[in-house]
Structure 1
């Protein structure tokens, strides 16, 4: 009798708790029956946690799921990729991701008629006859700044540059002015760039003509 009463009380408490929590009793009993399966899965997860952590540390915290999976396969560990992903997610282990760089070139559709004076010949016999230029952007304490450079193909040196919070036409003109002032450019010097609107703009082309 005492055992039967205890079972009744326990069943009453379960009914009350399920009613308060708005959970079906069948769900509660299903959860209880799945306890053994959850423990088995946890035991299976505990095994590769150490190996995943070691591989991640050795990679200087750069490896993600694919490369860790490949490393463990190479060591003879038969662990599925999904399990590795779940374990890494639960343990907050993350690989390094490369930041996708966005292009700064605003292509000018009118520039298709501009001839390519360099082609594939990026060799110069002497300084001041061939320059190549481009624009990039850099994170600074002031925020993102744009950098325009002119490189002399003979020496590999940056002979002109300019930094600004924009990349309008005057920005690349300033870099060209510096290159002209300190690069010893010869008459007929070729300045090569992409066909972005900064380099096909009227101010830039006028300055090239003046120099």
Structure 2
């Protein structure tokens, strides 16, 4: 499961589920993020140093989306704490059922991300959902 998350609102903006971890798969999550993007803040994409994120195809997709790349210094999970936290929430709270097929798992992931973004309040967001915070930030941006 490849996820792209807005660090400010914690909203999962794009995702792609596949049975591999190819650069083209993570580009699909990035493409979903770019198509869902509703404002044009200066954007930075932070990731670990996985081969798919270091690949020329992924770096070209970032450049095309006018997004600056940022990567961890090494393989220290604390340098990518937000991603690790969201992965943990999805695994521990939502993705609890065993699925028989990839399509079944895709449906479960889609439902889980909807609940995470739209219904699950976060203590770190003042008990608001990621989407509530994201929409508020977007409205404030439009006023500036």
Tell me, yes or no, whether TM beats 0.5: no
Larger helix fraction of residues: 2
Query: TM-score, normalised to structure 1's length?
Result: 0.30
